[in-house]
Chains A and B, each alone.
Chain A
């Protein structure tokens, strides 16, 4: 629905005909362009991300998987992006800090801390410069609380109101 190719764009590794493709996503302030290129290889699909033509990160996913750029992927200050990865039906969200070069899988961190009680329903965007908004479901059923994932400290902040 959004102009500029900014709506969530699932890239399915199982789709066949295209050997290479490229998608540009503009930050909300229009200052930064994130480019995701995909290239099919024997092992699956290589996803390469660039910011302003500088490669920042590359990831190879197996077939029958997808990598999605959410609509609200950019942090407000354009220092981070978060992405959604689905492999064999398992969804993981991770943050990529442009300055560090290593991804932070906050789905994994969340499961370590709250896995017996809660699961991540979705990550919707950024509630502040370094705060990813997370909605959850209770393992026992029903809606769980919302959280911030605070990127610098790799910690979760439980919120009193739902997002």
Chain B
């Protein structure tokens, strides 16, 4: 385990922090100073056993980790003109001695405000998002969890990686996007599937002097967060959006155009320049009992590799199109259908970068075997290992794990896919559910071009979840919720090089308030991935270089159980245990990981 060191604050941040301090000391009456924060203490102890350690005299069998941190979010607002925000962190790892392992970090420094009546600005660590095909931080579907005992773990990682709030894109909330209030639909593209970047943005609201219509524009210029100094080549992304919307008598539309340019220096000589453009529309028609929502987006990418080395396709162009139509009846039952086509050469780093990297090193029991090879990730790693999350955009196809994300490893913008989707949601009340909610989605896709052969893969994905409040049925005193889910994914190809890979995954989680403020949480996830598939080996220019066929027969079970004590609404203590069993034909992948985990969190 690496030992964190005390971070030296960079000069711009130091100046900004100094300005903030000065403003705090000279606060006039018409300004506001607010403090928010979060404190968290985590302690975890885990053991590893199984075939992966057979004959291994090097790797740890038992480790203990933990930390205590305090995040202070200081916000200084001067009228509407300026809003300064500094999110600072003090962190100390358990086991640190004499200052080793202690760190002071600035998680976010942001200046924003209103420059004129129609222009707002943001400068610093900002969140950037355009659309799911141009600039969007994809949901970690492979780490989706339904039980609270897992969700709390994953939410810690999301907080640490600045992707909190993205849960609004999960199926549980999908109903709202498919069809209700126009304000929610407007928010669809503004949801926080954003990447935390460093730079600035300007937002314009162009006056039309018509209440039912609006014209907005966004311009931004950013670089990846805290990964590059400004002394040499650094990646930068410049983009924007123009949108026009009208909403009259419950009917309306939203027309938008997005554009973004990515410039990424390569570790070898050269650079990648990528341009993604898109345009589309959302429209909605609202009648007394029926609500119709549609969404279309189409666009293109141009990727240019500038290097001295010979390339097969130094310039790659391709396009995508996406459409969706959803119908809602009484705001309780909704059905939707969509068609999507993403070209094989469509390259959009802002949308295709994975949130969880498949070949990243887990943060506990990172290596196994006497040769200290990276331990393959399991389900517990994907909800509890900070190091496998990714905060920088990648112009390369990252390694994905087919047992967790087979059909759309690179989000809905996964290249070389065409097909249609069907979805439905049922709520037992308008807009929300009181006793039960069921949602299902099926995707039937195919490769546009075969990979290495003319035969094309067929993809099927089916995902269903159900959430019920059992206390409504059994009339228990405390809240009692049960979530169940099922996921099936398959990849099939005929011909001389057949592919047949299937993933079945079940999960269930329940949270029961056994006494006031004390929840009992139990969750189980089980996965079986079986068949043969082929990995594409990518070269340094994102070209397929060769293929690596593999067969996998993996069965994995993750059981979690714990107690959560709600001390106040903003403060809880969680004590839990996890048992992750992985039995796999993959090398060094059969192991048992048991973990004891405590988490004390308070917010203010």
Does B bind A?
no
Task: Show the binding face of A for B, using Cβ within 8 Å.
Answer: none
